[in-house]
Structure 1
Amino acid sequence: MTSTLGRVAALLGAVAVVVGTTLATPAPALASGGITGQAPCPDAPEFICGTLTVPLDHSGATPGTLDLAVAVTGNTTAPKGDLLFLTGGPGQPGVPAMRRTASTLAPVLKDYRLVMYDQRGTGAHALQCPGLQEDMGSSDLAVPRRKSVADCAATLGPNARFYSTADTVADIDRLRRALGDQRLTLDGVSYGTVVARRYALAHPAHVARLVLDSVAPPQGFDPLDLAALPATARVLRAACRATGCTTDPAADLAATVRRYGNGAQVLSALTGYEFIDPDYGGVAEILREAATGQPAKLQEFFAFVHREVDTASAEELSQGLHSATVCADSRFPWGTADTPVAGRAAALERTRRQLTTEQTWPYDAATATGLGSLLVCLDWPREPVPPTPPAHRKLPDVPVLLLGGDRDLATPYELLYQQAESAHHPQIVIVPGAAHSVQNRAADPAGRQAVYDFLLT
């Protein structure tokens, strides 16, 4: 297999043509008894809201149910069927974003009925971990206090294991049946791309086509973030060229990390800042001053990003749900969630010693092993591991569109090209100057237009 960088060089800028056609059936009315309490949404009465009740434990071994909020547009005769839009995180609800998403996808909604729902543990029924929420907010990478992690695990208890991606996939198939659909078109952003791919692998006969925007790793999370670390140099240098800066921000970042040992904090702040300015305006100057021993502006930058981006309530992005899902799904340097806690720190230290400069530059090995979501799971209680498909299993042979931005650090486009290899006939669109969540946030409309063309073809 060629290297990731080799794949990027070969594929960058190329858009593959999707071949074949997909038969579609009109979107039926909501199936009787599947979604209860149907009525106009309280905050968006142009849409219909209801409740889907699912088992806490899909195996049936543990009793209990969960109520998931669902919202749909009112067009029950959409000729191309239902379009399920999947939000990110994990931890973001769907229903509160219904109006914004419907506006973004308006050109296709004569042909599709838009469906959104709150994944288990999000929204009005968000898992609540106040200390962890305060420490991390909307960040994947901010380092939490160990007490916050312990308190969250104690609050969630043994039921934390029922909030994995496998459980969400099972919920979606319940939703599909409640909608009366044979097949769904799935549009996922960030962690939503993980859910969409996992659903397609588990239920290939029930997928019409896939839009994957800001593509995350197959298991949703790389605990060492080994795509984002080297991608930072590419992204910052591209932003520097676009804004006319005269320094090398990658070299200055490397010098800053060597001087202060704050790589995890820098990466967290840069990943948050892309949501404010994908040109990373002012960052090159901040890094140059820090590299030469003047860190005051860098500290102000950290505080600004935490205040403006990383603060979020559990209802907006539940860190309890995020931790439960990431810890259940992921493979770590110590193994999985079923690895005894006592041996995890030693395994992580062995990994730190083995990491190379090539893997981590312009950061260091301590950055890779010191990121927030990894440290949450370091002390997370031992629990059974949910089923996961093989990492390199092919997606079903349906049309697949992959979108990325060339300024995205949260899910760098190197990940997109890796995942494109699992599709049979991928269409790839990289939007220049765009950061994370192309459909929702990119100033350049090329990504949204690609989605419209793809869905309507």
Structure 2
Amino acid sequence: MSLRSRGVAALLGTAAVALVPAAPAVAARPLAGAAQLSARRCTPRGVTRCGRVVVPLDRSGAIPGQVSLRVRMLDGPRRTRDSGTVIALAGGPGQAAAPLLEQIAESIGPALATRRIVTFDQRGTGGSGRLRCPELARIRRASQLDAAVAGCARRLGARRNAYTTAASVEDLEAVRSTLGVDRVALYAVSYGTKVALDYAARYPQRVSRLVLDSVVPQSGNDPFQRATISAIPRILDTLCGHRGCPFTRDATADLATLVRRAARAPLRGRWFDGRGRGHSATLGSEDLFSLLLAGDFDPFQRSALPAALRSAAQGDTAPLLALAVGSSLNGGGSAGGDSDALYIATTCADGGVPWPAGTPVAQRPAAAEAALAALPEAQLAPFDRRTLRRLRIDSCRAWPESPIEQPTAPLPDVPTLILSGDSDLRTPRSDARAVAGQLPRARLLTVPGVGHSVLGAAASLDQRCARRAVTAFFADRRVADCGRTSLPPVAKQAPRRLADLPVRHGLPARAGRTYAAFELTIADAFERIMTVALSGAAEPSGGAVGIGGLRGGTVRIGRRLMRFDRFSFVPGVTVSGVLSLDLDDEAPLVFHIGGSAAARGTLVAGERSVTGTLGGHRVNITGAGASASGATVARATADAAPQLSLERRIGELRTALEQARPAAVQPPAAPVGAAGPLLPGLGAER
């Protein structure tokens, strides 16, 4: 089974088409002015206010109809009548912004204390006439893409041409006018930055300042992903640090090896689901590309990439498949109202396609192939032309009007803060630098260790620098550079056999290696529960969240218990046992060690000791080396003693689960600006 095709159903959630009823084209009609909006609470006891702004579907009048834009707003605690207004724009295209109001307000933080923040669902998303094309939801293979895209275009009819970025720019102006303010600050993430830039160019007198997080240039996406590809070696080198990765001389060379190997035949292996069932799977070079992009939102996944690439290059595909399965199951989530149909309509209309405007549909495949053939191989390394073909650089070839020429204008001289994650592959820092060079008063802040959506990642990484920068920028103070940040160190290679591990704590060889395997297995389980289950990538199993082991078995976690069932990280070594997540439960933590390679036995973990037997040998380990978890934010390794006790890690896990309990059984909202890979071959969308 291909992981790529397996993930499509989860990534495409549209089910039905909803078109705006036809009506005569009219000018923007302010349904609610500032006073009316301020008097209308979204809920009886809520602090947010709601309203609608009705705009023409097509301002030229050629296409009849209206769109009712859903608007939400929130006042800062110290806002006065003269305070400013910030309009926030989400990503995609296709991500509904209104459900993200509170999340956006938290991201900007103190900068909003004296301001009003406003969001609205972009036309075609959420409560603004969300577009639905069931054809897109039925895609299972890339070969079905053309028919689905053409079917969606037919379903939408002439209205499909009314969902350009230029139309969203005019919608933004209508919202500003309805609010009754002369100028607004714009805070935008990912694709939203393109809307913000185009708006600032079109209406420079209406913009007081710009905050652009993870910039998409005005020119839009490059269908050949050259900026992304050129950033891959640097980011892999950064993961390994200045001392390099001890298990490989060159992580990029390992990736290139896998790309060449995948050109001959897909990489094959097995992975285990949340019920412990094994599945055969394949990975192509296009899946490797998508896997790298998936790391944009997860520092733990990024830290695991070099070791997983090296293991696969040496013939052990299990770690790489485990990462790929996690990213395919976790499609980025949705705050509600996202639209794949809108994504297609806007992306295909705006451009970023490998043929000039006006190219007939029948001639587009040849035009795309000619453009691809003209690229030097060096611009695509460590990938190749075959990878880009399989990523479907011509995904819009069945869309009748692709591209539609968009208006362009120079960018204005307004204060601008650009935030760029140093590890961002979707919107690399080279794009941020290019945009900064076009804005006379731009301040580019590169944030180390962060991928896509800087402010969204800042919360999970405790990265205060980016938030301080936004606060300083709105206060007209100097924006300080970011220093180093605390990130998970690069992961060690997963052992392929018990003999690869060192002997621990003076035990006999087999028992000592089994104990080392036990430490690594528990560490892996806790890390994956914290970073995979809570990100929504795990599978519910019998009312609990289930995660398959790297080599087999499962760990399942419910509200009160964490159950290991022959969970395996090291081949031939399994761990079973039931752990209470109740901190008041003083029952001992008992683990049963089994497996064909293990020194079998039972271990009892206490606060500062581990006792029991392995292979008939007594185990009695006290002090720091007795910790069974190895579950600090950093990974446990085979050559360093774990740092925290198992009980303390259970406490941290229990607290995290209580804070995010709904997310443990269903995918949470995506980071602001992250619509997720919506279609096969479109995994690099912004």
TM range (shorter): 0.7 to 0.9
**Partner of residue 435, structure 1:** 451
Q: Distance in 2 between matches of 1:119 and 1:32?
A: 17
SS of residue matched to 2:290: helix
Question: Cα deviations across residues 243-300 of structure 1 (Å, max 9, x unaligned)?
Answer: 9632222111111111103332212122123212266122112212332344444334
**Partner of residue 72, structure 1:** 73
**Deviation of 1:451 (Å):** 0.9
2:112 to 103, 106, 109: 109
Q: Say whether 1:329 aligns with 2:350.
A: yes
**Deviation of 1:99 (Å):** 1.0
1:405 to 406, 421, 433: 421
Tell me, yes or no, if the aligned pair for 1:273 and 1:309 is still in contact at 8 Å.
no
**Deviation of 1:80 (Å):** 3.9
**Partner of residue 56, structure 2:** 55
Tell me, yes or no, if the aligned pair for 2:420 and 2:447 is still in contact at 8 Å.
yes
Tell me, yes or no, if the aligned pair for 2:109 and 2:471 is still in contact at 8 Å.
no
**Partner of residue 7, structure 2:** none
**Partner of residue 341, structure 1:** 361
Distance 1:88 1:294, change over 3 A: same
**Deviation of 1:208 (Å):** 0.6
**Partner of residue 448, structure 1:** 467
Tell me, yes or no, if the aligned pair for 1:44 and 1:99 is still in contact at 8 Å.
no
SS of residue matched to 2:40: strand
Amino acid across the alignment from 1:455: F
Tell me, yes or no, if the aligned pair for 1:91 and 1:321 is still in contact at 8 Å.
yes
TM-score, normalised with respect to structure 1: 0.84
Q: Distance in 2 between matches of 1:239 and 1:220?
A: 28
Q: Distance in 1 between matches of 2:243 and 2:70?
A: 43
Tell me, yes or no, if the aligned pair for 2:67 and 2:123 is still in contact at 8 Å.
yes
Q: Distance in 2 between matches of 1:74 and 1:211?
A: 19
Alignment of 1:300-449 (within 5 A): 300-310=322-332, 315-336=336-357, 338-372=358-392, 374-382=393-401, 385-389=404-408, 393=410, 395-442=411-458, 443=461, 444-449=463-468
Question: Cα deviations across residues 302-330 of structure 1 (Å, max 9, x unaligned)?
Answer: 222010135659x4531111111111011
Q: Distance in 1 between matches of 2:159 and 2:74?
A: 33
**Deviation of 1:242 (Å):** 7.9
Distance 1:32 1:377, change over 3 A: closer
2:285 to 235, 245, 263: 263
SS of residue matched to 2:94: coil
Amino acid across the alignment from 2:379: Q
1:299 to 317, 321, 325: 321
Moved more, 258-267 or 46-55: 258-267
Moved more, 432-441 or 241-250: 241-250
Distance 1:310 1:150, change over 3 A: farther
Tell me, yes or no, if the aligned pair for 2:350 and 2:402 is still in contact at 8 Å.
no
**Partner of residue 162, structure 1:** 162
Alignment of 1:225-244 (within 5 A): 225-241=225-241
Distance 1:376 1:64, change over 3 A: same
SS of residue matched to 2:123: coil
Distance 1:129 1:446, change over 3 A: same
Tell me, yes or no, if the aligned pair for 2:131 and 2:341 is still in contact at 8 Å.
yes
Q: Say whether 1:83 aligns with 2:86.
A: yes
Report the number of matched residues. Answer: 417
**Partner of residue 153, structure 2:** 153
Amino acid across the alignment from 1:122: T
Tell me, yes or no, if the aligned pair for 2:365 and 2:394 is still in contact at 8 Å.
no
Tell me, yes or no, if the aligned pair for 2:356 and 2:403 is still in contact at 8 Å.
no
Amino acid across the alignment from 1:217: P
Amino acid across the alignment from 1:60: G
Question: Cα deviations across residues 331-359 of structure 1 (Å, max 9, x unaligned)?
Answer: 422113x3211111111111222222321
Tell me, yes or no, if the aligned pair for 2:89 and 2:186 is still in contact at 8 Å.
yes
Tell me, yes or no, if the aligned pair for 1:143 and 1:371 is still in contact at 8 Å.
no
Tell me, yes or no, if the aligned pair for 1:78 and 1:111 is still in contact at 8 Å.
no
**Deviation of 1:106 (Å):** 2.9
Q: Say whether 1:94 aligns with 2:82.
A: no
Moved more, 375-384 or 86-95: 375-384
**Deviation of 1:181 (Å):** 1.2
Question: Cα deviations across residues 139-166 of structure 1 (Å, max 9, x unaligned)?
Answer: xxx9963333233222222211100000
Q: Distance in 2 between matches of 1:126 and 1:364?
A: 37
Amino acid across the alignment from 2:368: L
Tell me, yes or no, if the aligned pair for 1:166 and 1:386 is still in contact at 8 Å.
no
Q: Distance in 2 between matches of 1:98 and 1:44?
A: 17
**Deviation of 1:439 (Å):** 1.2
Tell me, yes or no, if the aligned pair for 1:70 and 1:118 is still in contact at 8 Å.
yes
> Which entry has the higher C-alpha Rg, 1 or 2?
2
Higher relative contact order (CA 8 A, sep 6+): 1
Q: Say whether 1:284 aligns with 2:306.
A: yes
**Deviation of 1:31 (Å):** 7.2
Q: Distance in 1 between matches of 2:352 and 2:106?
A: 37
RMSD after superposition: 2.6
Q: Distance in 2 between matches of 1:290 and 1:91?
A: 35
Distance 1:403 1:121, change over 3 A: same
Q: Distance in 1 between matches of 2:363 and 2:330?
A: 38
Distance 1:388 1:254, change over 3 A: farther
**Deviation of 1:44 (Å):** 8.3
**Partner of residue 668, structure 2:** none
Tell me, yes or no, if the aligned pair for 1:405 and 1:438 is still in contact at 8 Å.
yes
Q: Distance in 2 between matches of 1:435 and 1:278?
A: 11
Q: Distance in 1 between matches of 2:222 and 2:230?
A: 14
Q: Distance in 2 between matches of 1:351 and 1:263?
A: 20
Q: Distance in 2 between matches of 1:42 and 1:272?
A: 36
Q: Which has the higher helix share?
A: 1
Alignment of 1:119-158 (within 5 A): 119-124=122-127, 125-133=129-137, 135=139, 145-158=145-158
Amino acid across the alignment from 1:45: G
Distance 1:264 1:385, change over 3 A: same
Tell me, yes or no, if the aligned pair for 1:78 and 1:113 is still in contact at 8 Å.
no
Distance 1:92 1:324, change over 3 A: same
**Deviation of 1:361 (Å):** 1.2
Amino acid across the alignment from 1:93: A
SS of residue matched to 1:211: strand
**Deviation of 1:32 (Å):** 7.1
Q: Distance in 1 between matches of 2:51 and 2:168?
A: 18
Amino acid across the alignment from 1:453: A
Q: Distance in 2 between matches of 1:265 and 1:131?
A: 23
Q: Distance in 1 between matches of 2:362 and 2:31?
A: 50
Distance 1:143 1:114, change over 3 A: farther
Amino acid across the alignment from 1:132: L
**Partner of residue 250, structure 1:** 252
Q: Distance in 1 between matches of 2:245 and 2:157?
A: 51
Tell me, yes or no, if the aligned pair for 2:153 and 2:400 is still in contact at 8 Å.
yes
Question: Cα deviations across residues 92-133 of structure 1 (Å, max 9, x unaligned)?
Answer: 111100111112223122321101110001113321123424
SS of residue matched to 1:232: helix
**Deviation of 1:205 (Å):** 0.9
Amino acid across the alignment from 2:287: Q
Moved more, 289-298 or 345-354: 289-298
Q: Distance in 1 between matches of 2:173 and 2:216?
A: 22
Q: Distance in 2 between matches of 1:56 and 1:321?
A: 14
SS of residue matched to 1:49: strand
> Identity of counterpart residues, as a percentage?
37
Amino acid across the alignment from 1:87: A
TM-score, normalised with respect to structure 2: 0.57
